[in-house]
Chains A and B, each alone.
Chain A
Amino acid sequence: MVSKKDKYQSGQHSLLRQMFPAVALSALGIGFVSQLDNPASQIASGGLAIGGSTDTTIVDPAAVATPQATATPAAGANATPATAAPATAAPAADTTSCTGDVVKSPPANFRWGTIQLQTTFTPGNVLCDIQVLQYPNDRGTSISINQYALPIYIQESLSSHSANVRAISGATLSWRAYSSALQAVLDARPK
């Protein structure tokens, strides 16, 4: 006599009954994940570099989107993080004008994309200009957050001459990427 109870206890179930929940939930799970926003794939398809920080970074001109961004100097020149481009060979007498080394930061990758900076130093080795070479610009949210926050971070860095700036609410990840990019440049500078 196998009652319904015994059946549930002894595990005699049709394969269908055993498989159905697994199949249904797998489908639901995969469907769910595929519907999520995916910054990673968008960045990849957008052609932005998402390699390691020691990669040779070829800056995508399309990514240099800030209006104030200057023309990219010698694309592909960066083999190591923070390589000084010998921009002005002749040392000027004036050590405070913003005409010294131009240094590209390593690309700082984060959840929403990549931030890369181009910094300029005075001949006296003081940080005097920061341009944004690339920032996450594939999503409206990213664009608005970064266009708002990055100038503020830059302003603060230029006045304090450091990468240690205060984070802005809602732009924390950009803040971290920005700070680490700038810090990498500053760390590589001769003291």
Chain B
Amino acid sequence: MNKRTPKVRVLGEPDQSRLLDTDVGAFLAFISVVVVGIWAHHGGFNNLGLSATSTATSLDQITGLLASESGILGLILITRTPLLERRYGLDRMFNWHRILGASMSVFLLLHVVFSLWAWSTPGGLFAAVKSLTGGEPYMAMASVGAVLVGVVTITSIRSIRNSMTYEMWYFIHLVAYIGLALSFSHQITLGADFSTDKLARWTWVGLHVAVVLWIIWSRWRTLILSLLHPYKVSAVSHPAPGLIAVTLNSPVISRHRAHAGQFYMLRQLMPGRWWKTNPFSLSSIPSSAGLRFTIKSRGESSDAMTKIRVGTKVAIEGPYGVCTPEIIGNEPVLMVAGGVGIGPIVSLAENLSSHHKPIIVYRAHSQKEMVHVEEIDALMKKLGGQLFTVIGPRATLKVSDPFAAEVLRKSVPDIADRVVIVAGPESLIKAVQKGARKAGVPTDRIHAERAWW
């Protein structure tokens, strides 16, 4: 065991984001006004419906611009800027990033189609392909870029993505950034919106440079710092078969700031593993005694984590996630945990006091799988709360849906007055969200933490 510091101190809280929803809305509107404004001001609307060629030209311009806009917004999300992260959570940002990536692909496809259409007057489709893959300045680069984005899009289709490892998909998906970079020159030299309008051109260049600098500052810097100052595994225990509780510590942990309920991207610094990173939720309140993660053996990468030994260096990036005590405030709370979702729930519960009247529902497939039960029991006794367990496969349960509105209302009569937090697999989250909404909990008081095993 690690030598304990005499006094265990709870870590400070990360700063709150000052950003409001309205700010994000205003920024989105702004960037869209700029992009559509450039196009419209250069006659985009007028050219629609003139000749077939000018319609196609106009459409190929606006789709190209919108593809770029989606790309830029997607890039802003991967900066993981605390401004957005502390407000919306990294899991949601990843989801938006995925949606923006998909919309970029759609706009890019339309852009290619409209460009071919526009260029095929008068020389025909073959001549259009020829000039668009090399004849026009920088189009060879842009074509390669489009192909790269296309490859990433195809590998991101769910069925194909599921057939490869996460890491393989991840590194293929990074190629999209090369694709974006390659496509930049043709926008400036060939795009009529930028090649002839100085203000538009320099604004566009400036926007891209700013985003690149932002990524370097916000993303690469934290990555490098995490590698330079890794944590070490200070304790390992096995609370249940197939489960491992890993505690990470660092000499400078007292300066680290984190909330209960947050998660980290962990990277074991050892040969063959250093390039893999996986999300794990805190399973106890973060303190100077270390950061504890309870990990279930599931999939190749978490298996690697379950074999981890004391002393292993681990680079940590985080904390991320907004499922923190802040969303509970001083309200009574109902927490639902499914499987390893109990980790973040425990770390949140440790932060509660008796006026939260906590009720925890713990859903697990078998008694064996359950962890931290004594810990929660003791905590609930202290706080005057309750712990319900729902154990066994669905078929063996007394009710067909343990999270149906009637069932919830019966076991938690005051559910409508409570903040609901659910952590676990997607199916459980969906079931609880549906049941709780029906039982009268406003949607904005139901918070979900995706399962980070």
Residues of chain A within 8 A of B38, CB atoms compared = 33, 36
Residue contact A25 to B30, C-beta cutoff 8 Å: yes
Question: What is the predominant secondary structure among interface residues of chain B facing chain A?
Answer: helix
Bound CA span A53–B42, Å: 20
Q: Give per-residue flags for B110-149: 1 if the beta carbon is below 8 A from chain A beta carbons, else 0.
A: 0000000011011100010001000111000000000000
Residue contact B22 to A18, C-beta cutoff 8 Å: yes
Residue contact B54 to A39, C-beta cutoff 8 Å: no
Q: Which of B420-451 contact A (CB under 8 A)?
A: none
Residues of chain A within 8 A of B37, CB atoms compared = 29, 32-33, 36
Q: Give per-residue flags for A164-187: 1 if the beta carbon is below 8 A from chain B beta carbons, else 0.
A: 100101001100110110110000
Q: State whether the Cβ of B211 lies closer than 8 Å to any Cβ in chain A.
A: no
Q: State whether the Cβ of A191 lies closer than 8 Å to any Cβ in chain B.
A: no
Binds B, one of A4-12, A59-67, A119-127: A4-12
Bound CA span A35–B16, Å: 37
Bound CA span A109–B53, Å: 9
Q: Are A30 and B33 also in contact (CB < 8 A) when A4-B16, A21-B22, A180-B51 are?
A: yes
Q: State whether the Cβ of A92 lies closer than 8 Å to any Cβ in chain B.
A: no
Q: Which of B2-40 contact A (CB under 8 A)?
A: 13, 16-18, 20-23, 25-27, 29-30, 33-34, 37-38, 40
Residue contact A108 to B53, C-beta cutoff 8 Å: yes
Residues of chain A within 8 A of B136, CB atoms compared = 167, 169, 172
Partner pick for A176 among B17, B27, B119, B327, CB 8 A cutoff: B119
Residues of chain A within 8 A of B47, CB atoms compared = 109-111
Residues of chain B within 8 A of A8, CB atoms compared = 16-18
Q: State whether the Cβ of A88 lies closer than 8 Å to any Cβ in chain B.
A: no
Residue contact A17 to B329, C-beta cutoff 8 Å: no
Q: Which of A17, A26, A39 has the largest count of B CB atoms less than 10 A from its CB?
A: A39
Q: Give per-residue flags for A104-117: 1 if the beta carbon is below 8 A from chain B beta carbons, else 0.
A: 00101111100000
Q: State whether the Cβ of B164 lies closer than 8 Å to any Cβ in chain A.
A: no
Q: State whether the Cβ of B50 lies closer than 8 Å to any Cβ in chain A.
A: yes
Q: State whether the Cβ of B43 lies closer than 8 Å to any Cβ in chain A.
A: yes
Q: State whether the Cβ of A40 lies closer than 8 Å to any Cβ in chain B.
A: yes
Q: Give per-residue flags for A31-56: 1 if the beta carbon is below 8 A from chain B beta carbons, else 0.
A: 01111111110010000001011000
Q: State whether the Cβ of A75 lies closer than 8 Å to any Cβ in chain B.
A: no
Bound CA span A13–B18, Å: 11
Bound CA span A170–B135, Å: 12
Q: Which of A24, A29, A52 has the largest count of B CB atoms less than 10 A from its CB?
A: A29
Bound CA span A96–B46, Å: 41
Q: Which of A1, A110, A141 has the largest count of B CB atoms less than 10 A from its CB?
A: A110
Residue contact A36 to B197, C-beta cutoff 8 Å: yes
Residues of chain B within 8 A of A77, CB atoms compared = none
Bound CA span A106–B57, Å: 18
Residue contact B33 to A33, C-beta cutoff 8 Å: yes
Residue contact B326 to A29, C-beta cutoff 8 Å: no
Partner pick for A32 among B46, B50, B198, B203, CB 8 A cutoff: B203
Residue contact A9 to B327, C-beta cutoff 8 Å: yes
Quote the shortest CB–CB distance from A161 to chain B (angstroms).
13
- Measuring CB to CB, which residues of chain B are less than 8 angstroms from any residue of chain A? 13, 16-18, 20-23, 25-27, 29-30, 33-34, 37-38, 40-43, 46-47, 49-51, 53-54, 57, 118-119, 121-123, 127, 131, 135-137, 190, 192, 196-200, 203, 326-327, 329-330
Q: Show 6 residue pairs from A and B whose CB-CB distance is below 8 angstroms, ordered by the A residue.
A: A9-B327, A21-B23, A22-B26, A26-B26, A36-B197, A109-B50
The list of the 3 closest CB pairs from A to B, nearest first, reads A33-B37, A40-B43, A25-B30
- Measuring CB to CB, which residues of chain A are less than 8 angstroms from any residue of chain B? 1, 4-6, 8-11, 13, 17-19, 21-22, 24-26, 28-30, 32-40, 43, 50, 52-53, 106, 108-112, 141, 163-164, 167, 169, 172-173, 176-177, 179-180, 182-183
